[in-house]
Amino acid sequence: MARLRHCYPVNHRPAKVFERRKYYESLDFNKIAEWFSSKPDSLKKPIFHLDPGYETGYCRKKYRDKLGKLLYFDIKDYNELKEMVLEYLPEDLYYDRNLYGDPSKCVDCEDRNCKSCENFLGQ
């Protein structure tokens, strides 16, 4: 798998997996929940995209088969988000800003051309 080469500022480098663990363990997921609670109903519990380590190639050994893939998931609550993040220790974590009629239909969808989907409501 070919990875993009990134240029980092002097004295900077990507975080190793053990450093990600320390960071995510110290992260206040209640603050994340507060921030999302101020959003419209459709974004209170968004779909998340987790990147295990595509750019750096650093990921937990048991998830090596997931390199190069974005993993999509929804959550019941923000404790579940914390569990997912501490399990995968992702390089990147995103939330989907798109609005959907039924977000649960999107999690297992293989076709990421969302704008043509009847479930897609907009941004």
Taking 70 as the threshold, does the pLDDT of residue 1 lie above it? no
Per the domain annotation, does 3 fall within a domain? no
Contacts within 8 Å (CB) and 24+ apart, 81-87: 81/29, 81/32, 81/48, 82/24, 82/27, 82/29, 84/48, 84/50, 85/24, 85/27, 85/50, 86/21, 86/24, 86/25
Per the domain annotation, does 21 fall within a domain? yes
Per the domain annotation, does 8 fall within a domain? no
Residue 52 belongs to domain spanning: 17-122
Per the domain annotation, does 73 fall within a domain? yes
Q: How confident is the model at residue 2 (pLDDT cuts 50, 70, 90)?
A: low
- For the entire predicted model, the pTM comes to 0.78
For 49-102, write each residue's pLDDT tens digit.
899 998 889 999 999 999 888 888 888 899 999 999 999 999 999 998 888 888
Q: What is the domain count for the chain?
A: 1
